[in-house]
Structure 1
Amino acid sequence: MKSKILMAFIILALYSCQNKDKKDEKSIIKTIAEDTLSKTAAGTADVSEAPQKDDKIVELIRKELQVLLKKDLPAMTREDRFFYYEAFDLNNDKKDEYFVGFSNPYFCGSGGCSGYILNNDGSLINKFTVTDFPIFVSTSSSDKFYDLIFETGGKFHLIKMKNGKYPSNPSVQEVLKGEIPKESTKVLDIQGKKLEKYSF
């Protein structure tokens, strides 16, 4: 009889330990979930690894590329039809302009690559050719737009806005004297940054 009572106590003790473990496990999961939710709601959750993308901007760029490259599209392969973009407010009007670049043989050759700068509404500001990425946005400005620094042929060229356009061929523009200013911002750093690639 004593052995039966002892056995019942052992079973009861084991059962209560298992339940306690399950409760502790549920409690830990609940705490982690609540912590993550509160951080997300407060805006303090670490989402630095999450790719930032705005589908409206991507669609805007896609539509404009369909127009700009209408004659080219039949000759392009599926692999040619990808672009990268980066936003930057070039004229301090609180609206971003979009740098659009490519990294495939259709758009790139021995002299560099071509690309576009688009307005916030998707319309074309500029087409550019023979450039190596990244492009640098300087702190100086011309015609209310920041000056740009393009690398082409191993030299850096200063590109200034004139009459609402940047020159399309940076290789024939003024060679930058001295170093790129440290305050300059890199855009379209296709090789160095993990920029998302989009089809069009």
Structure 2
Amino acid sequence: MKNKILILIAILALSSCQNKENSKNIVKTVVQDTLSKTLGGTANLSEVTPKEDKATELIRKQLLVVLKSDIPALTKDDRFFYYDAFDLNNDKKNEYLVGFSNSYFCGSGGCLGYILKNDGSVINRFTVTDFPIYVTTSATEKFYDLIFESGGKFHLLKMKGGKYPSNPSVQEVIKGDVPKESTKVLDIQGGKLEKNSF
């Protein structure tokens, strides 16, 4: 779709240099053709890549391992996750922040979550957290510090010995608001993340 828009813009730019009457007809034809194919479901979407299919598969495989003992107790409705990708240590490879939003993985204190390396291995498992998570501009041990909401308060989590603390609710409480320069990730309630099964 993005490529089609760029092509449409290029045609518009080229056609502005040509005869105005001909350009109106060409642009009108291209726009009508693109819209009719898109609405009719016949547009060529082969160039549109799904959101990191490799990442989804990688996370799915890891969850089947780390949640192996939970799987027999899970219902079909419990077996889904959300994730967001962010390069937490500036190594040009995304880490994956994974969260859940159902009664099995969430309770009155918050929900379960994970941070996975780019290869799928677990950096952290979190408990009692709410989403979204905020990535700050400060870093500890080459990883950005994180802000988690737990119990209605914002807590600062810093990397220590290669891991973030697993229980955000007992970490330092931030006074005031989340810094504006922080990046919001894993915003499950925001409704823009895809729901994935495992």
Structure 2 length-normalised TM: 0.77
The equivalent of 1:68 in structure 2 is: 66
Q: Which of 183, 187, 190 is 1:185 aligned to? A: 183
Q: What letter matches 1:181 in structure 2?
A: P
Quick one: distance in 1 between partners of 2:137 and 2:196?
A: 29
The equivalent of 1:157 in structure 2 is: 155
Quick one: distance in 1 between partners of 2:111 and 2:49?
A: 25
The equivalent of 1:194 in structure 2 is: 192
Do residues 85 (structure 1) and 83 (structure 2) align? yes
Quick one: distance in 2 between partners of 1:119 and 1:27?
A: 49
The equivalent of 2:12 in structure 1 is: none
The equivalent of 2:11 in structure 1 is: none
Measured after TM superposition, the shift of residue 193 of structure 1 is 3.5
Measured after TM superposition, the shift of residue 93 of structure 1 is 0.4
Measured after TM superposition, the shift of residue 31 of structure 1 is 2.5
The equivalent of 1:147 in structure 2 is: 145
Measured after TM superposition, the shift of residue 35 of structure 1 is 7.3
Q: Which of 113, 124, 127 is 2:125 aligned to? A: 127
Question: Per the alignment, in what secondary structure is the counterpart of residue 87 of structure 1?
Answer: strand
1:157/1:61 CA distance change after superposition, 3 Å = same
Name the % identity: 72
The equivalent of 1:111 in structure 2 is: 109
Measured after TM superposition, the shift of residue 179 of structure 1 is 1.9
- Show structure 2 runs of 5+ residues with no match: 1-24, 36-47
Question: Per the alignment, in what secondary structure is the counterpart of residue 135 of structure 1?
Answer: strand
- Show structure 1 runs of 5+ residues with no match: 1-25, 37-49
Measured after TM superposition, the shift of residue 194 of structure 1 is 1.6
Quick one: distance in 2 between partners of 1:52 and 1:184?
A: 27
Quick one: distance in 2 between partners of 1:191 and 1:28?
A: 40
Measured after TM superposition, the shift of residue 116 of structure 1 is 0.3
Q: Segments of 4+ in structure 1 off by > 2 A?
A: 26-36
Q: Deviations over 1:10-36 (max 9, x none)?
A: xxxxxxxxxxxxxxxx97774237878
Do residues 31 (structure 1) and 48 (structure 2) align? no
Q: Deviations over 1:139-160 (max 9, x none)?
A: 1110000000000001100000
Return the index of the structure with the highest Cα Rg. Answer: 1
Question: In angstroms, what is the RMSD of aligned CA positions?
Answer: 2.3
Question: Per the alignment, in what secondary structure is the counterpart of residue 60 of structure 2?
Answer: helix
